[in-house]
Amino acid sequence: MRFSSNLILWYKQHKRDLPWRNTRDPYRIWISEIILQQTRVNQGLSYYCKLVEKYPDVHALANADEDELLRVWQGLGYYSRARNMHHTAKVVAYKMDGIFPDSYHELIKLKGIGSYTAAAISSICFNEHQTVVDGNVFRVLSRLFGVDTPINTAQGKKQFEKLAHELNDGGESGLFNQALMEFGALHCTPKQANCASCIFAAQCYASRHGKVDVLPVKEKKQKVKERYLNFFFVHDAYGNTLIQKRVMKDIWQGLYQFVLNETKEETGVEDMMPDLLGLYNGSKNIKRVDRCTHKLTHQKLYIQFIEVEVEKLGANDVSGYEIVSMSDLGNLAFPKPLERYLKDFKVR
DNA sequence: AACACGGGGTA
DNA sequence: TACCCAGTGTT
């Protein structure tokens, strides 16, 4: 039996029942694919449900407020996905009469849609003969055929694309693509692959040669940069706080933060007081200092939260920051560690 | 080609 | 810890 037929049979037996698998509406498939970029199904599932309920069609999403959209996206990470999605929704709604392009080559022109997502949407929604190559595909094919070309090189990517496309020969590209990814996600997993019960074990190079744990090959990772972020959570007796939208090209673009002083190294609160003096010219009271670390893929953040109570926040005291009532913070998106701080703050 | 961009799950 | 995840955009 052909590999593609065998794979699709496996898929029909083992696939998970997921909400985006009950539709071929390009809007919904698009939302699901953006969410699932570098994100596991279990992590993205609730976000998908929230998004399609709040924004049932591309017009609703196009008309959304960006802060509101980022708040829905809060906690999922890679926030450029949300900003690009919003941009593309406006393009589709206002320049394409709300109709998504129906081909790979048109889809890939849209912001946030790269080769993977264009292949996924065009194959799943329009049955175009395109083949997805994601982390699952790299893993399954490298093991099955013993391909040890590093997957994070241009050569490797081309080689796997060619191989995947040759295998996708059954005229059901949407099914084939989802089947291959599902097989990687559920069966041919990164750790402890289920070789004992694998339908392909007899022909699998890695299984026969004991190389399951060394494939796929990936070239060394980038190193992690360390940063020291000192946030002043300033509030007054009237429940007002000081916040700022992050606009720089940096992590957490578009999200909100407290008064920030970033330093080159671990810095005591006393040494940062001069900066704070310039920010608020009335009397102030440092109530509490909390510390935490936060790991990103490429950065390790050493975070201090300095709670500062002042008498009354007024427009004359601050520049570059907004005065916002504590009760309105729930409508804005904050980075994970700041959201956690706010949650703890409310409890105590 | 190399890097930047989050957060959570897994061993 | 270290690695990985239904990747894309920028430099």
**Which of chain C's bases lie under 7 Å from a protein CB?**
3-9, 11
Q: Which 308-347 residues of chain A approach strand C with CB closer than 7 Å?
A: none
Rounded Cα distance, A227 and A338, in Å: 16
**Which of chain B's bases lie under 7 Å from a protein CB?**
1-11
**What is the distance, to the nearest Å, from the Cα of residue A95 to the centroid of all Cα atoms in its chain?**
27
SS3 A165: helix
Rounded Cα distance, A267 and A264, in Å: 8
Active site residue A33: yes
Q: Which nucleotide is nearest to A301 (CA to C1')?
A: B6
CA-to-C1' distance for A239 and C5, Å? 40
Rounded Cα distance, A148 and A211, in Å: 10
Q: Which 280-299 residues of chain A approach strand C with CB closer than 7 Å?
A: 297
Domains located in chain A, CATH noted: 3-132+146-184 (1.10.340.30), 225-347 (3.90.79.10)
The pLDDT assigned to A220 comes to 78
pLDDT digits (tens, 9 = 90+) for A310-335: 988 887 777 889 999 999 999 999 99
pLDDT digits (tens, 9 = 90+) for A14-45: 999 999 999 999 999 999 999 999 999 999 99
The pLDDT assigned to A279 comes to 67
The pLDDT assigned to A274 comes to 60
CA-to-C1' distance for A1 and B2, Å? 42
Q: Which residues contact A152 (CB under 8 A, 6 or more apart)?
A: A218, A219
The size of chain A, in residues, is 348
Work out the burial of residue A52: count CB atoms within 10 Å of its CB; fewer than 13 is exposed, 13-18 middle, 19 or more buried: buried
Q: Which residues contact A330 (CB under 8 A, 6 or more apart)?
A: none
CA-to-C1' distance for A51 and B4, Å? 26
Q: Which residues of chain A have pLDDT under 50?
A: none
The two structure tokens encoding residue A336: 């994970």
Helix (H) / strand (E) containing A66: helix A66-73
Q: Which nucleotide is nearest to A108 (CA to C1')?
A: C8
Q: Which nucleotide is nearest to A334 (CA to C1')?
A: B6
Footprint of strand B on the protein (CB under 7 A): A 38-40, 42-43, 75-80, 153-155, 191-192, 219, 222, 225, 249-253, 294-299, 335-337
Q: Which nucleotide is nearest to A191 (CA to C1')?
A: B11
Rounded Cα distance, A201 and A203, in Å: 5
Alpha-carbon distance values, A172 to A121, A179, A214 (Å): 13, 11, 31
DSSP state, residue A131: -
Q: Considering only CA atoms, which residue is closest to the C1' of nucleotide C6?
A: A36
CA-to-C1' distance for A141 and B9, Å? 23
Task: Enumerate the β-bridge partners of residue A293.
Answer: A302
pLDDT digits (tens, 9 = 90+) for A178-220: 999 999 999 999 999 999 999 999 999 999 999 999 999 998 7
Q: Which of A47, A1, A45, A55 has the alpha carbon at shortest distance from A25? A: A55
CA-to-C1' distance for A154 and C10, Å? 17
The two structure tokens encoding residue A274: 């001069």
The two structure tokens encoding residue A270: 């006393």
Strand C–CB A223 distance below 7 A: no
